[in-house]
């Protein structure tokens, strides 16, 4: 407890002292935030409480994305918290960059969604009994925040201060391909204060330009390799999947979609190795046990060439049902593996039609595998429904033909 308080005090003092040296500039708008949070920790962690400080910058660029197009702000968070029961990990110190997506922006009220990915470190690393904990662990954060300004008009001193209420969920996972690890989820409520020190007047956000709601079609092929247990040593199980979906933009930064997945994972073959105890109930050499298929619903957020989202799916073809207990009597604590799956998907569009992809497939908080691959997109598929493939061309444009003398 004393160490936690000391570490919290040190990084807060360092952060505030750095800000005290910053002089206000009309062309550099930023916001400082401090949040106190308290909540619950999954897997028997009990109550937790902590403190987080953030620095937010609008995503300007040449087009002033934040204020002209109502695009998200970019933030950087630094925080720490203590848990009630997890003596093997306390305290936890974390940092992550995040996007703050505006839903409602008024002079006296803001409603924002927050999404971030980063790293955390546990001061205590645990053991084989309490759970393997890596010194550096991945953290994902998602939340909803309401900010109330103390003044009505931008640019006046009181309006630069805001009181914030919110709710947040943070997931901590070692991002490794093995299963046996100490992972947990924190759900908390947030109370904080925001201060915008250097704007007079603060520019108003314009209404975002209307997005053209045209259905997009995307398909991708991706693959990777994984381990099942720490005892696997250097042995890897290859995995891969084929994804196909249709996506409809709702706003410039948000789209929804539906699609399907065909998945292959050689870990679902209990006949491969005697050490694969979790799936030793598969006794026949049937290759179809390693294949699954499902349908998913997608919620994606987009910023120019980058798309990131969560896809939740249900298995339509699944030849195996993982039993409640393995041959050693260890309980299957995640029965959702038998009927549903989730994917954290990130896409980067190299061109209008081709993109690179990184995704992590999970069953709730338990990661199954990570995959990388490439895909093909038809962003204006909805405008060519009558002849959907009529204008698809892989021929590269000749710049000489476009030249005007």
Domain-embedded: residue 248: yes
Does 10 score more than 70 pLDDT? no
Domain-embedded: residue 358: yes
Q: Could you tell me if 18 and 156 lie in one domain?
A: yes
Q: Could you tell me if 185 and 255 lie in one domain?
A: no
Strand partners, 306: 303, 348
How do beta strands 354-363 and 216-226 pair?
unpaired
Domain-embedded: residue 76: yes
* Structure tokens given for 376: 């093909």
Q: Could you tell me if 127 and 236 lie in one domain?
A: no
Domain-embedded: residue 405: no
Q: Could you tell me if 146 and 83 lie in one domain?
A: yes
| pLDDT score of 282 | 77
Has this prediction a pTM greater than 0.85? no
Q: Could you tell me if 170 and 24 lie in one domain?
A: yes
The DSSP element (H or E) to which 20 belongs, if any, is helix 2-20
Domains held by the chain: number? 2
Domain-embedded: residue 165: yes
Residues 6+ apart with CB under 8 A from 14: none
Q: Domain containing 52 — which CATH number? A: 2.40.160.20
Summarize pLDDT for 227-273 with one digit per residue, the tens.
776 666 667 788 999 999 999 988 777 889 999 999 998 888 767 66
Does 135 score more than 90 pLDDT? no
Q: Could you tell me if 179 and 227 lie in one domain?
A: no
Average pLDDT for 135-161: 80
Domain-embedded: residue 106: yes
| pLDDT score of 382 | 80
Identify the top-confidence range among 150-159, 176-185, 357-366: 357-366
Q: Could you tell me if 131 and 184 lie in one domain?
A: yes
Distance separating alpha carbons of residues 377 and 300, to the nearest angstrom: 15
Q: Could you tell me if 45 and 127 lie in one domain?
A: yes
List the single range of 38-52, 81-95, 96-110, 140-154 with lowest mean pLDDT: 81-95
Q: Could you tell me if 183 and 251 lie in one domain?
A: no
DSSP letters spanning 219-246: EEEEEEEE-SSGGGTT--EEEEEEEEEE
Domain-embedded: residue 202: no
pLDDT band, very low/low/confident/very high, at 2 (cuts 50, 70, 90): low
Give the count of beta carbons closer than 10 Å to the beta carbon of residue 112.
21
Can you give the residue range of the structural domain that contains 278? 216-384
Domain-embedded: residue 145: yes
Q: Could you tell me if 188 and 250 lie in one domain?
A: no
């Amino acid at each position: 407890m004393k160490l936690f308080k000391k570490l919290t005090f040190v990084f807060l003092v360092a952060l505030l002292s750095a800000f005290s040296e910053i002089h206000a500039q009309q062309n550099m708008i930023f916001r400082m935030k401090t949040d106190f949070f308290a909540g619950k920790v999954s897997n028997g962690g009990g109550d937790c409480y902590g403190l987080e400080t953030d620095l937010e910058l609008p995503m300007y660029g040449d087009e002033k994305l934040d204020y002209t197009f109502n695009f998200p702000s970019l933030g950087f968070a630094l925080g720490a918290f203590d848990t009630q029961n997890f003596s093997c990990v306390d305290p936890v110190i974390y940092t992550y960059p995040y996007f703050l997506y505006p839903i409602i922006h008024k002079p006296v009220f803001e409603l924002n969604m927050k999404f971030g990915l980063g790293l955390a470190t546990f001061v205590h690393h645990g053991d084989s009994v309490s759970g393997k904990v890596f010194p550096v662990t991945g953290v994902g954060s998602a939340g909803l925040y309401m900010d109330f300004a103390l003044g009505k008009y931008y640019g006046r001193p009181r309006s630069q201060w805001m009181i914030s209420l919110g709710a947040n969920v943070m997931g901590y996972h070692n991002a490794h391909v093995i299963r046996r690890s100490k992972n947990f989820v924190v759900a908390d409520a947030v109370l904080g204060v925001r201060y915008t020190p250097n704007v007079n007047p603060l520019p108003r956000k314009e209404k975002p330009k209307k997005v053209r709601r045209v259905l997009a079609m995307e398909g991708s092929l991706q693959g990777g390799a994984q381990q099942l247990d720490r005892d696997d040593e250097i042995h890897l199980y290859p995995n891969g999947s084929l994804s196909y979906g249709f996506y409809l933009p709702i706003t410039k930064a948000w789209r929804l979609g539906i699609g399907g997945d065909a998945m292959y994972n050689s870990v679902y073959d209990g006949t491969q190795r005697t050490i694969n105890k979790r799936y030793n109930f598969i006794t026949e050499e049937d290759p179809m046990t390693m294949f699954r298929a499902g349908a998913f619903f997608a919620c994606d957020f987009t910023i120019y060439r980058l798309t990131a989202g969560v896809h939740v799916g249900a298995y339509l073809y699944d030849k195996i049902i993982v039993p409640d207990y393995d041959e050693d009597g260890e309980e299957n604590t995640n029965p959702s593996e038998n009927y549903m799956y989730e994917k954290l998907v990130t896409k980067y569009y190299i061109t209008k039609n081709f993109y690179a992809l990184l995704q992590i497939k999970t069953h709730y908080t338990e990661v199954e595998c990570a995959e990388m691959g490439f895909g093909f997109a038809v962003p204006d598929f909805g405008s060519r429904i009558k002849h959907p493939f009529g204008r698809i061309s892989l021929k590269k444009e000749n710049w000489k033909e476009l030249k005007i003398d």
